[in-house]
Amino acid sequence: MEDMLLNEEEKQIRDLCRRVVKEVPHELIRKIEREEVTFPREFIDFITKNGVVGLRFPKEYGGKGASWVAEASAVEEMGYLGFTLSCMYSLGTIVGEPMYRYGTNEQKEKYLKGITSGKLYGAEAITEPSGGSDLFGMMKTTAVKKGNKYILNGQKRFIVGGKGADFFVTYAITDPNAKSRTRGISAFIVDRDTPGLKVETLYGLMGNKGGGTARIVYKDAEVPEENLIGELNGGYEVFNRMMIPERLTTAAGSLGVSTAALKVATDYALKREAFGSKLIEHEGINFKLAESLTLLQSASALVYTAAKAADLYEKGQTTQSYARKLVSMAKLHSTEAMWKIVNDAMQIMGGIGYTTVYPIERLLRDSRLGLIWTGSSEVMKMIIQHEYLKEFTNPDYWESRRDIEKDALDFRLEEEKVFK
């Protein structure tokens, strides 16, 4: 990201994360690819020890009180390690957000401090076999109050970090008779050692190995009532707040993955010769680089604009709807850009890029998940148009603007404006 878009504090955080990323053992990445490591606790311990976890949270909870812009710059640096570790890093912010915004003092002391100190690692248990994109419409997991506990029954799948997480932020139906499903769901903290919780399937994935992606089964799982996050039946509000860091960090991590792919491809093009000159001197190659760089810069600009909007939302200077729209745009554009940039990096390198001699094939496999995870590209488009139409149909939005339709030569021919 251009230095001119970061203030001094944000630059310091970015530079700290860059130094930490540089020191992550290369052998750890290779072990993950060989599937010798299925959950990277070593990585989590390393980044925690170096003080880069939970940057967004106040210092009293072990964070740095950083901005969303600083958080985005940190995750972008982590993306240089690949999409898996970028996602694993981001989960600290993602699962910490509901505790910070809606949690009790006891929850913050135990779980938020647990995240920033490295004593606890949390995962989000959201997706179900019956519902991914249509989570709230298709949710089956229930939580029934019995005495001072909630009894959970159901399943969650594709849970990144599921194999090794110490606790799960999960959602369940608490009012099956609610007029709207979004009004009958609650959020809970479920500890790994909860009676009735079982980590079952560990999924085989095309890419993003090492994330411990698992299926979680709740069978009469007993969750203390003090582990309810926020208000009873207030899970939809918690979820929407949680989606800001989830999608913004996905967008930011995609920038790092794209930069890594371009670095490898550019190095290769500067050294490799074909038809009597370096690859970089061939128009077909240097035009691909130019296109990729332009795409990356546009994605970067949108990610940091969205991060700034999230900061303004925190201060009450813009609406959640506007921040949500920009974050969705950033997630959509940066993941789609990543997929194309990594593909083109492989194309620049030719056959050798398709081998494990270089990391491009890993970045390609990993990056495909970006278009699906934390809300597919199609879901992002649904959100974007939905939030835009809310703005568009608000008379105040257009009150100070020019009536452009009156610029038409025959704008007075109202009889020609037929809509039904």
Residues designated catalytic:
246
Instruction: Locate 343 and state its tokens.
Output: 């593909």
Residue among 363, 179, 378 nearest 260 (CA): 363
The beta strand positions in 87-213, using DSSP E, are 122-125, 142-146, 149-159, 167-173, 185-191, 197-202
Distance CA 72, CA 75 (A): 5
Q: Would strands 122-125 and 167-173 be described as parallel, antiparallel, or unpaired?
A: parallel
Calculate ∠ Cα 126-127-128, nearest 5°.
120
Q: In 3-state terms, what secondary structure has residue 234? A: coil
Q: In 3-state terms, what secondary structure has residue 274? A: strand
Instruction: Locate 92 and state its tokens.
Output: 């600290």
Contact status, residue 122 vs residue 96, Cβ threshold 8 Å: yes
Calculate ∠ Cα 396-397-400, nearest 5°.
80
- The alpha-helical segments, DSSP class H, found in 282-416 are 283-314, 320-349, 360-367, 377-392, 395-398
Dihedral of CA atoms 239, 120, 159, 356 in degrees, nearest 10, equals: 130
Contact status, residue 6 vs residue 17, Cβ threshold 8 Å: no
Reported as type and span, the H/E element at residue 132 is none
